[in-house]
Amino acid sequence: MGDMGMSSAPPVHTVAAFYRLLAIEGAVLLGVAMIVYLVMRFWRTHGEGFRQEFGLEPRGASSSGSLYDVDPAQARARTLAVWSLGSLWIVDGLLQAQPALGTQFFTSVIQPVMAGQPKWVNDAFLSVTQLVFTSRPLWFDSLTVWIQILLGVGILAGPRRFIGRLTLRLSIVWSFVVWAFGEGFGQVLSGGSWLMGSPGSVLVYAALAFILLAKGETWRQGRVKHRMQWWMAGWFGASALLQALPSAGYWSAHALSQMEMSMAQIPQPHAMAAPLYAFAHALSHGGPWWNALFVAIPLALALGWFIAPESRTIQVATSVVLLAVWWLGQDFGVIGGTGTDPNTALPLFLMTLVHHLLPRDGSSPWRRLRAPRSTSA
């Protein structure tokens, strides 16, 4: 959930030092990668001889990768999920390399997302991140850059390879670290709105990683698709609840318009800012009615994913809503300011496409809940 605030530009010499550090770390990582590659090539060629020399039996033709084989019917969907998740992490890493984040990550990202959080969150998390990102700002930010880029590259290896599965598991851990420290728990404790990215984009990343770690049998039996349906229904249901909470303040006359106006005022091309200003002006008239609409939309999508997730109407409606929100509600996540990811609507849209590519089986969470009762009657 990228931050959209602006900050003053850091000194030129600091920016130069930041990118010099990134270049040095990149060279070291490249050297390590080459060494690992050469060792793997050597072992692939001569490893069996070494195993026989020491009396160890070769592992044989079967490997754990076969457990993760899927049929061609599921292969396209899983490939899209792999490339989507890997690319998202790489983009996040590149966004983290913005000049302003090298020295101002704490003030540009951490402090804004922690604003309005309960006291215990600030006491437990704000002090830790302040200590980390102000003691060695260049080093820790560059470390974050490479962690996310390496996660993306490793995920692109795919779940059939050990390195791909290992990276997927590490990405889940890192997702929750980012969710807590970088997204302020998705703003769910401080009145977050699904229009702006709550409950948090990295939760979608974690869900995609869990999906990709499913074994081939789980894909073939349709259980991956069924889990995605439950997950999407729950996500939109939670989004409606967050938007409807009186404590969030969105039922007031100008809360939504002020939120939209602050985003429109971020320096960006006029062609991109003009629709945001127009939308903010529209939201200033009848704010509570607009909020009722923004509660009803995710609630309707939650019901759709629960009752008829394979319906073309639900698929198209979900895609249209997510793309519209990514534009008008999230400003594409990375326009202006110091956005650290493309925000939530894009990965949700990609997950919708993954679900759409899976074979249709006519099931839904609603039908699966009713099935045991009908058979026992």
| Same domain? 81 vs 23 | no
CB 200 within 8 Å of CB 2: no
Residue 9 is predicted with a pLDDT of: 63
Look at residue 65 in the predicted model and tell me its pLDDT: 59
- The answer for 114, left when phi > 0, alpha when psi is -120 to 50, beta otherwise, is alpha
**Residue 199 corresponds to which tokens in the numbers above?**
């409950």
pLDDT band at 377 (very low <50, low <70, confident <90, very high): very low
Are residues 15 and 90 both part of a single domain? no
> Does the pLDDT of residue 364 top 60, yes or no?
yes
For residue 101, pLDDT beyond 90: no
Residue 48 lies in a domain: no
Ranking 107-111, 197-201, 291-295 by mean pLDDT, the lowest is: 107-111
Answer with the residue of higher pLDDT: 140 or 10. Answer: 140
- In this prediction, residue 342 has a pLDDT band, given cuts at 50, 70 and 90, of very high
pLDDT at residue 280, rounded to an integer: 95
In degrees to the nearest 10, what's the CA dihedral of 184, 134, 331, 326? -40
Tens of pLDDT, residue by residue over 50-76, are 556 565 554 444 455 579 999 998 999
One domain, residues 95 and 16: no
My answer on whether 308 and 199 are in the same domain is yes
Q: In this structure, is residue 253 part of a structural domain? A: yes
| Percentage above 90 pLDDT, the chain | 56
Stretch 360-371: mean pLDDT: 91
Look at 85 and 118; give whichever has higher pLDDT: 85
- The torsion region of residue 333 among left (phi > 0), alpha (psi -120 to 50) and beta comes to left
Are the CB atoms for 210 and 223 separated by under 8 Å?
A: no
Percent of the chain residues past pLDDT 70, beyond the cut: 85
Q: What is the residue-wise DSSP string for 208-240?
A: HHHHHTS-HHHHHTTHHHHHHHHHHHHHHHHHH
Give 157-174 pLDDT, tens digit per residue.
999 999 999 999 999 999
Query: Is the domain of 173 the same as that of 300?
Result: yes
Question: Could you tell me the pLDDT band of residue 15, with boundaries at 50, 70 and 90?
Answer: confident
From the list 263, 112, 106, 131, the residue with the least C-alpha distance to 187 is: 112
The residue with greater pLDDT, 31 or 280, is 280
Q: Evaluate whether 267 touches 273 at the Cβ level (below 8 Å).
A: no
User: What 8-state DSSP symbol labels residue 265?
Assistant: T
Q: Give residue 28's domain range.
A: 11-41
On the question of pLDDT at 137 being above 80, the answer is no
61 inside domain = no
55 within domain boundaries: no
* Residue 56 resides in a domain: no
Signed CA dihedral, 258, 262, 263, 269: sign only = positive
The band of 375, judged by pLDDT with boundaries at 50, 70 and 90, is very low
Mean pLDDT of the chain: 86
Q: What is the pLDDT of residue 222?
A: 94
Same-domain pairing of 294 and 252: yes
Count of Cβ atoms closer than 10 Å to residue 296 Cβ:
13
Residues 26 and 164 grouped into a single domain: no
Residues 6 or more apart whose Cβ sits within 8 Å of residue 88: 152, 205, 341, 342, 346, 347, 350
3-state secondary structure 100-120: HHHHHHHHHHHHHHHCCCCHH
Residue 373, in any domain of the structure: no
- Are 210 and 278 found together in one domain? yes
Tokens in use for 294? 């923004």
Residues 25 and 83 in one domain: no
Residue 233 and residue 84 share a domain: yes
pLDDT at 64: 57
223 and 167 inside one domain: yes
Q: Is residue 51 part of a domain?
A: no
In a domain, 128, yes or no: no
Same domain flag for 178 and 298: yes
At 18, the pLDDT band (50, 70, 90 cuts) reads confident
- Those residues whose C-beta lies under 8 Å from the C-beta of residue 248, and which sit 6 or more positions away, are 191, 192, 193, 242
Q: Residue 135 and residue 122: Cα distance in Å, rounded? A: 18
Instruction: State the Cα–Cα distance between residues 167 and 189, nearest whole angstrom.
Output: 30
- What is the spatial distance between Cα 229 and Cα 140, in angstroms, rounded to a whole number? 38
Dihedral pair phi/psi, residue 284, rounded to 5°:
-70, -15
Instruction: Quote the pLDDT of residue 373.
Output: 57
- Greater confidence (84 vs 56) lies with 84
Per-residue pLDDT tens digits for 204-241: 999 999 999 999 999 999 999 999 999 999 999 999 99
Domains identified in the chain, total number: 2
pLDDT at 62: 46
Task: Decide if pLDDT at 376 tops 60.
Answer: no
**So what's the pLDDT on residue 135?**
67
CA–CA dist 166, 181 (Å, integer): 23
